[in-house]
Amino acid sequence: MNENEIQFTELLEKAKEASKTSYSPYSKFAVGAACLFESGKIYLGSNIENVSYGIGLCAERNALSTALAAGEKSQLTTIAVYSPNQKHCLPCGACLQWLSEFSTMCGNNYDITVILEGDNTDYTAYKLSELLPYGFKFQ
């Protein structure tokens, strides 16, 4: 395993761990996310649902909020997402837009890496620019 792969494996383990804090009584789909910043710090999040289904929060946005609320100021480099199905699950459009806020699309200098893993599968790594080539930004 090279350095990247070791880092990806560690982040995915943390994302899986984070999924244990999911509050998902409606979908029963417990997702976990782990965000790595240039500072070396990792922040976790899981999906939090609500009886008013549409206002539930995804794991990815929860992890990002946790980081920013903790005062993290360095560049986001990588987010790992674990979902409990056979194949990995791709972040929803709202989460991609949130992630774009911290990547090249919104003037930062780093195209963040998004790594995804389900159960019993290998992970897949994408660049955010592949998943959201044309998100919203001010011109």
Question: Given the rule CB under 6 A, which residues bind ligand THU?
Answer: 24, 27, 29, 31, 47, 49, 56, 58-60, 81, 89, 91-92, 95
DSSP string, 64-131: HHHHHHTT--S-EEEEEEE-SSSS--PPPHHHHHHHHTTSGGGT-S---EEEEE-TTS--EEEEHHHH
Q: Which residue, 42 or 117, is less far from ligand THU as judged by CB?
A: 117
For residue 7, what are its two tokens?
């880092």
Does 60 qualify as catalytic in the annotation? yes
Nearest approach in angstroms of CB 44 to ligand THU is 12
Q: Which of 17, 60, 72, 117 is catalytic?
A: 60
Q: Which residue has the tokens 């998943």?
A: 131
Nearest approach in angstroms of CB 46 to ligand THU is 7
Q: Which residue, 7 or 47, is less far from ligand THU as judged by CB?
A: 47
Nearest approach in angstroms of CB 51 to ligand THU is 12
Cα dist. 10→15, 56, 101 in Å? 9, 27, 24
Q: Which positions are catalytic?
A: 60
